[in-house]
Structure 1
Amino acid sequence: MDEPLKKKFKIEENDIGHELEVLQEHLLRNCLCSLDENVIQKLFWRFNSGDVLWSDLTNNWSTEQILMLITCVQLICEKTMKQSATGFICSRIADVHNALTHKENNIIDYFIELADDSDMFVSFAASRALTSFFLAVKSRLDQRWLDKLTENIEDTSQPLKVSFSLDVLKRIIEWKDFDEHVLEDNISTENAILSNCHTLSIRSEHFDSTQVKCLCIKSLESKWVYIVNRFESLIKSNATVYESTIITFLNLWEAMISVKANLSIIDTKPFYSNLNRYVPLLSNNTSAIVWKHILNLFNEVLCYGSTLALQHDMANEPCSLAHLIVRTVKDRRLLHVVPYINGSGGFGGGNLEGDRVLLKKLVLLILKAIAVTVKEAKYDSSSDSSVGSEMDDEDADMAVISRSIRDVLKRVDNFIKQHVHFHPETSPAKWIVQLFTDQDDYLVESMICCLDVARVLCYRNNYLPDLRKDLNPSETFLQFLHTVSFDWDVLLDFLVSNETCFLLYILNFLKYVRDHWDEFLDTCDRKIDRVMISLAKLRESVEKLVSKDLFPYNINPILSLLIECHKKYGAYSGTLILR
């Protein structure tokens, strides 16, 4: 920048803080029409000439002024997204947003440069502003900005820059589209305020971030194998200076393959590569916190309750990961190196203290790996068998798998009882409920895994009666009812909520009860009346909601199974709880 410009900007720096405060106040009122145009001109429009660099202008700004600038940019982007969803936008906000996205305006390049700023609050705020900016510009997102971010990720010698770029991409991938986002004000209030300003009428449409997400992951695709290999080396090095960066990377990887991201299988498939290489990283040399995030990643890949349990043909990648996890448990490599005692997140209980959070993540992962392995074997064998001799081969194959799974479950059972205060005779069917009782999503998915494994392995020609006892589905359900105090309203809440896969669990469990009524009766024993009353009250509550057209989905299959089970109970007891 030449000297006359420097002199001019130095004078303006004296009142820049006041101008930014005024701009922020107007943005919070959702309208810039009454703002002096000179303020906007000085702050944004003059940069569209390309003659001035933001880094030069802000060189002598205070931290507070830089933070105020970042906040204003983030507000402009958020107001643009919010108002666009209503069909009306303040014309001045639209103008400023367009000025920010002008190809000659280098403010985004400047924000990316703040990745390794010495003040962590500045870099933190810049990453949030970039997230909002990328989401707001949608299809106009300049590939040059994404390239800068991904180049930062490749250079792992600069952890701050890597973490910054990973965090921006992760927040974009995790963004959830709502008609009214949780961070937004009420839209009706927004319209009332906008009625006093000069608004532009635009086509209102539901905000869809899919296009931006796809652009972000596409920018990583060609570099992904290299990035994965680099972070594998960083984890092996066990250098604490990289721990935060590693965690952010694992979080991004998890977000990209998560079903919650609503990305297509085609878009996310490249990011399933090299997952198996991270299983050996669960070792003595890896810290407990990194263990947890690797387990989170694997648990997301083996998303059994939400996707894999519903598929006949599962992809090779999750099946391969499941097989490897089962093998590492079977040969004792995994359970013997768990950093349980030395990990954080301990819990009380006599002299046994350790990282229960890590323990639950690990156990859930093993249960999901077992369920995926069994499910794959079931469909592979059923699709290959058509004649008698092949049926014999199928039974022999399933017998081998059953014994292998029994061995793995025994190892997990022993491991759990070494670290948690469960009675030695407590079966996995009971302790999985007790272990996960404070985390609904883990609880329900673990129950689905055990139920599905039991239905495939334990009821074919009376295979392995000890495994049938260990995974008794009735025992699990009875323990679950004890946990919720037999409260049918809690069961209804589980059914209505989309936070767990309880619908899939109760559907499969009721099918099991229908097909194995005598075993269900034997397990419930004297508590059968209390169990059936809870199910009857659940049915009654569901029917009331259905009659008022208030149930969020088609619940008729569940109602039909409840009716069948109550008929069996009526035949057994001589009475019907409900007609």
Structure 2
Amino acid sequence: MVLTKDKAASVAATDEPAKKKSKFSEEEDNSDLESLQSALLGQCLCPIPESVIRRPFQGLKILRHEDAQGYCATTIANWSRDRTLLFVSAVQLLCEESIKQNSRGLVCSKISDICEALVRNRYGLVEYLIELSAHSDRFVSFASGRALSSFFIASRSHVDPRWLERLAENSLSTTHPQKMSFSLDVMKRITEWKDSEEHPLDERDHLPPASCHLLSVSDAELDSSQIKCLCVKALEAKWPAIVEKFDRLLATTPTRDDSTVVTFLGLWEAIISVKANLSIVDTKPFYVHLANFVALLSSRISPIVWKHMLDLFNEVLCYGSTLALQDMLAEEPCSLAHLIVRSVKDWRLLEAIPFRGGSGKFGGGSGDGDKPLLKKAVLLVLKSVAVTVKETRCESSSDSSSSVSSEGEDADDDMAVIERSIREVLRQLDSCVKTLLPFHPETPLAQWVVQLFSDQDDALVEGMVCCLDVTIGLSHRENASQDLKKVLSPAVSLAQFLRTVSYGDDVLLDLLVSNETCFLLYLLRVLKYMRKNWPEFVSACSNELGDIMGVFSRLRLAIERLIARSLFPYNISPVLRLLEKCEQLYDGANP
């Protein structure tokens, strides 16, 4: 219903005598919430009376009414800031404890019961938390968003799609920009959530008391993929409008609220990320508008927005983890790679990097500059070049198997054109990096890439894979550029990498066992390259060949020891065979 001014005055007058009672009631409710939080920290609600557990939630439906826009108001206006934050934090703690216990397969029965009531929206909790998105205190709004995302993750498949649709609608709000940021952040946290097993030490040290009545849960209740899919589906219908909104926002004038833009870009990256484990069908609609945002990369955009846009593009071009392993590449990453290559070559994209925060070529400020920003840009260019070469080579291979020889010749001509473009792109990249960082002018790109990323294992290995794959992709041509081979020399990269890790075979073994980098892929391909191009490799390594082969020999022995004890986590036989063949080549040349 709609409250007129007279009715509102009447309600206020009749409510006046209840103020003292309301204050007492709030103190009582606060006490209940504090008891609830204390019990949750002990991971069990069994000792708490049912009335105490449910009382804070039962008050949510008191004094509800709808305004002219159908906006639902609750007792929020009568709650103090401390009361609101206490309630919201209790909700978040409850949901996070439920998530943790579900992952173990055993849940406190009272935690399960109250979560079930909240999931069924028996108390209108979802509407209440969404209302707080427009709260005048931004910290209250922030805390409510954290609680709401934890609630959705704890609810999983029981979430009402209409709640997510309302969030998606809020992300287009023009009257309440705070609602937009709130909704995007909640959906981002849901999408990037990872179901992970608890650390054994946490499980041992943090278990419910023996007196707790525990319920077992099935594996089906532990998977968050359903809530992620519901979230993405809710966004899909609104996505073109959301993208257009931020496109206009960034294209007109520099936005004062970079945080909202960053949240939007973070959500976009989370949806596309392979870590989200979403299907290709679910994520395909979110690739459509990427090209517009490449055009927005200019000196007018702040460094923080630059970084997040580069993160988004780098996630699309997930070369080491996905694209390098595929026989045929999808159209979307290839289109983005072509656009990046063209932007660097023809539109001087690298000159717009706000390296020192200012505008113009590399920024006009002072200081050491933004090295993390430069590293993201370098990796994006390397991945764009690698994807472009891989796509052209795949098409060339397909054409060469055709009975029509002219098609193969056309593909070779295409590769020659690509090669010229790549040579110019890498020249500009080399010039940019050497202008901004103190590398010697004669340092080849293959060497400074390793030095640049020496403190970032994942980017370092992916950068080396890109250089290696571009070299391999272009070397099959009879008239391949010798200059590019020198610029991207796999032998130079490998030698610099092994110097960087002090020739430690234990470091290589750690990288092989870890799943945080694509080092297995790199090692397989660089060993194959060594075997096929042994004289060239020996010439490029010169005096360091003995040190390199010494590392590989020790690595082989370490792998064999682990295999003998059944401790290696996967089949490493292909690497072992290649290590042995390279050692044989070395021993044959050095009897």
With normalisation by structure 1, the TM-score equals 0.92
Identify the residue that residue 368 of structure 1 maps to in structure 2: 383
State how far apart, in whole Å, the 1-side matches of 2:516 and 2:411 are. Answer: 37
- Aligned residue for 1:240, secondary structure, equals coil
Identify the residue that residue 276 of structure 1 maps to in structure 2: 291
Identify the residue that residue 320 of structure 1 maps to in structure 2: 335
State how far apart, in whole Å, the 1-side matches of 2:217 and 2:416 are. Answer: 64
Contact 2:44–2:212, Cα closer than 8 Å, also in 1: yes
State how far apart, in whole Å, the 2-side matches of 1:157 and 1:531 are. Answer: 63
State how far apart, in whole Å, the 1-side matches of 2:186 and 2:340 are. Answer: 31
State how far apart, in whole Å, the 2-side matches of 1:24 and 1:140 are. Answer: 24
How has the CA–CA distance of structure 1 residues 188 and 439 changed in structure 2, closer, same or farther, with 3 Å as cutoff? closer
State how far apart, in whole Å, the 2-side matches of 1:319 and 1:560 are. Answer: 34
Q: Report how far residue 17 of structure 1 moved.
A: 1.9
Instruction: Find 1:14's aligned residue among 27, 52, 60.
Output: 27
Q: Report how far residue 478 of structure 1 moved.
A: 0.4
Q: Deviations over 1:205-238 (max 9, x none)?
A: 5721100000001001011111111101111133
Are positions 1:124 and 2:124 aligned together? no
State how far apart, in whole Å, the 2-side matches of 1:289 and 1:238 are. Answer: 16
State how far apart, in whole Å, the 2-side matches of 1:33 and 1:456 are. Answer: 64
Identify the residue that residue 381 of structure 1 maps to in structure 2: 396
Instruction: Find 1:228's aligned residue among 243, 246, 250.
Output: 243
Contact 1:491–1:538, Cα closer than 8 Å, also in 2: yes
Q: Report how far residue 152 of structure 1 moved.
A: 1.2
Q: Deviations over 1:470-527 (max 9, x none)?
A: 1111011001111111111111111111111111111110000000001111111111
With normalisation by structure 2, the TM-score equals 0.91
Identify the residue that residue 324 of structure 2 maps to in structure 1: 309
- Aligned residue for 2:257, secondary structure, equals helix
Q: Report how far residue 127 of structure 1 moved.
A: 1.1
Identify the residue that residue 24 of structure 1 maps to in structure 2: 37
Identify the residue that residue 186 of structure 1 maps to in structure 2: 202
Structure 1 window deviating more from structure 2 (440-449 vs 459-468): it is 459-468
Contact 2:169–2:238, Cα closer than 8 Å, also in 1: no
- Aligned residue for 1:370, secondary structure, equals helix
State how far apart, in whole Å, the 2-side matches of 1:474 and 1:324 are. Answer: 30
How has the CA–CA distance of structure 1 residues 441 and 92 changed in structure 2, closer, same or farther, with 3 Å as cutoff? same
How has the CA–CA distance of structure 1 residues 267 and 56 changed in structure 2, closer, same or farther, with 3 Å as cutoff? closer
Structure 1 window deviating more from structure 2 (381-390 vs 293-302): it is 381-390
Structure 1 regions of 5+ residues with no counterpart? Answer: 345-350, 575-579
Contact 1:352–1:419, Cα closer than 8 Å, also in 2: no
Contact 1:23–1:72, Cα closer than 8 Å, also in 2: yes
Are positions 1:267 and 2:285 aligned together? no
How has the CA–CA distance of structure 1 residues 295 and 87 changed in structure 2, closer, same or farther, with 3 Å as cutoff? closer
Q: How does 1:153-552 map to 2 (within 5 A)?
A: 153-180=171-198, 186-189=202-205, 191=207, 193=209, 195-203=210-218, 207-342=222-357, 353-385=368-400, 386-387=402-403, 388-552=405-569
Q: Report how far residue 547 of structure 1 moved.
A: 1.4
* Matched residue type, 2:187: L
Structure 2 regions of 5+ residues with no counterpart? Answer: 1-7, 66-71, 360-365
How has the CA–CA distance of structure 1 residues 520 and 188 changed in structure 2, closer, same or farther, with 3 Å as cutoff? same
Q: Deviations over 1:525-547 (max 9, x none)?
A: 11111110001111111111111
* Matched residue type, 2:30: G
Structure 1 window deviating more from structure 2 (335-344 vs 250-259): it is 335-344
Q: How does 1:61-80 map to 2 (within 5 A)?
A: 61-80=79-98
Q: Report how far residue 408 of structure 1 moved.
A: 1.2
State how far apart, in whole Å, the 2-side matches of 1:408 and 1:67 are. Answer: 53
Contact 2:32–2:55, Cα closer than 8 Å, also in 1: no
State how far apart, in whole Å, the 2-side matches of 1:510 and 1:157 are. Answer: 59
Structure 1 window deviating more from structure 2 (422-431 vs 453-462): it is 453-462
Q: Report how far residue 279 of structure 1 moved.
A: 0.8
Identify the residue that residue 136 of structure 1 maps to in structure 2: 154
Q: Report how far residue 110 of structure 1 moved.
A: 1.2
Equivalenced residues, count: 565
* Matched residue type, 1:139: S
How has the CA–CA distance of structure 1 residues 19 and 410 changed in structure 2, closer, same or farther, with 3 Å as cutoff? same
Structure 1 window deviating more from structure 2 (545-554 vs 224-233): it is 545-554
CA RMSD of aligned residues (A): 2.4
Contact 1:236–1:286, Cα closer than 8 Å, also in 2: no
Contact 2:156–2:227, Cα closer than 8 Å, also in 1: yes
* Matched residue type, 1:154: L
- Aligned residue for 2:215, secondary structure, equals strand
* Matched residue type, 1:564: K
* Matched residue type, 1:366: V
- Aligned residue for 1:339, secondary structure, equals coil
Identify the residue that residue 112 of structure 1 maps to in structure 2: 130
- Quick one: percent identity of the two aligned structures? 52
How has the CA–CA distance of structure 1 residues 21 and 192 changed in structure 2, closer, same or farther, with 3 Å as cutoff? closer
Contact 2:320–2:462, Cα closer than 8 Å, also in 1: yes
Q: Deviations over 1:379-423 (max 9, x none)?
A: 111111234444333332222221221111111111111111111
